[in-house]
Amino acid sequence: MISLFLKCLLGAAAVLLIALLSKNKSFFIAGLVPLFPTFALIAHYIVGAERTMGDLRITALFGLYSLIPYAGYLVSVYYLSYKFSLVWTLSLATVIWLAFAFVLLLGWVKFHPAVA
């Protein structure tokens, strides 16, 4: 239960840091905070502790591929923000992220079958 509470504190700290940085003259730095590997560290620790190092490498490789949907999201936010309101921009960019993530998962399952 304590580990779950600590994970929640990490998430809350990240949100607080983003909120504080967004009010700063260097507001763009707020976009770097979500890229700190807080949750990746947690995921990699759990996979590394409970599974093999090979599984950890597969998890890291999938993490690299997961940058594709994130890049699709960021490119969408950039371009859609010229034509749409904030809510529409973020909503459409999220749909694009979901589409890229779906394609990534389908491709991963097809071309990188799980090792039993």
At 9-32, the pLDDT tens digits run 878 888 888 888 889 888 888 888
Burial class of 116 by CB neighbour count within 10 A (0 to 12, 13 to 18, 19+): exposed
Is the pLDDT at 115 greater than 70? The verdict is: no
As a whole-number percent, the residues of the chain with pLDDT over 90 amount to 57
Residues 61 and 101 in one domain: yes
Other Cβ atoms less than 10 A from the Cβ of 46: the count is 13
86-97 burial, b if ≥16 CB within 10 A, otherwise e?
eeebbebbeebb
Residue, of 82 and 24, whose pLDDT is higher: 82
Q: Is 42 contained in some domain?
A: no
Q: What are phi and psi of 109, to 5 degrees?
A: -65, -35
Model pLDDT, residue 1:
81
Residues 60 and 112 in one domain: yes
What letter does residue 37 receive in the DSSP assignment? -
pLDDT bucket at 76, cuts 50 / 70 / 90: very high
Q: Is 116 contained in some domain?
A: yes
Domains of the chain: total: 2
Q: Is 15 contained in some domain?
A: yes
Residues 77 and 24 in one domain: no
Q: Which domain holds residue 57?
A: 52-116
